[in-house]
Amino acid sequence: MDYHEALAKLGIGSAHPGGFSSTRRALREAGIRPGQRVLEVGCGTGRTACELAIRYQACVTALDLRPSMLEKANQRANENGAQIEFKRVIGKRLPVLDASFDFVIVESVTVFNSIARMLSEYARVLVPGGYVLDTEMCAAATLPTEVKRAFATTYGATAVPTMSEWKDLFHQAGFADTRIVHSGSVQSGIGQEEEPDLWGLSHSETTGKEVWSIIEENQRVMSQYAHWLQYATFKAMR
């Protein structure tokens, strides 16, 4: 079990930097209109997808790698009356057609994968003039080897670009007018935001020592190395 699987077990839907308050702030500034087609990559338990479908009345498709997350997300959507299409990601290609979305929403997913490949996929599925809104962890400066090793071991993040390096990567993937909507420091641990989300939590899933051991290791690593990290929400046009 890795860190992401532990989050899936706990049903935590807003573990990304900045938490759900940053999500709401970014969506307010995104300019999403009712009826627009929005793809969320890495939907988790469906918190952001439901926000998009209910508050913004978008036509939402939500993707995730893990069946347990998709099951919880679908249940949340049903209980909230949100019309969302959920799909599982299998393999390296997103399971949607070329040029089929006006917005792609991503929260702390790209950095844990092949960044260039993921950005290329976002560009592929967007219509010309469409936007990606991506909140990601950023290095405050070039990371020392020790810090790189810790992040790779704990999170599977083999590269953590600086904000300027992220902008370059978006440009290389074919995006224009990449700007930072907002940014901030990375908080230590999970569940520290003002609106923690444990929607999918069940007692049986929290009894395993392995889950809490992984979460404690995350908190230790973040406490030790948080000064090396920032986060930013990037908005880039296709």
Helices (H), the chain: 3-10, 19-30, 47-54, 67-80, 115-125, 145-155, 163-172, 203-206, 209-225
pLDDT at residue 208, rounded to an integer: 72
Q: Which range scores top for mean pLDDT: 5-9, 81-85, 223-227?
A: 81-85
Structure tokens at 51: 């926000």
Per-residue pLDDT tens over the stretch 34-61: 999 999 999 999 999 999 999 999 999 9
Distance CA 157, CA 174 (A): 23
- Return the CATH number at 175: 3.40.50.150
Domain total for the chain?
1
Q: In the structure, what pLDDT confidence band is assigned to residue 12 with cuts at 50, 70 and 90?
A: low
Task: Say whether pLDDT at 178 is over 90.
Answer: yes
Torsions phi, psi of 129, nearest 5? 90, 0
The Cα-based distances of 206 to 66, 77, 194 in angstroms read 18, 23, 22
β-pairing, 176-185 vs 59-64, is unpaired
Residue range of the domain that includes 180: 3-237
Task: Say whether pLDDT at 210 is over 80.
Answer: no
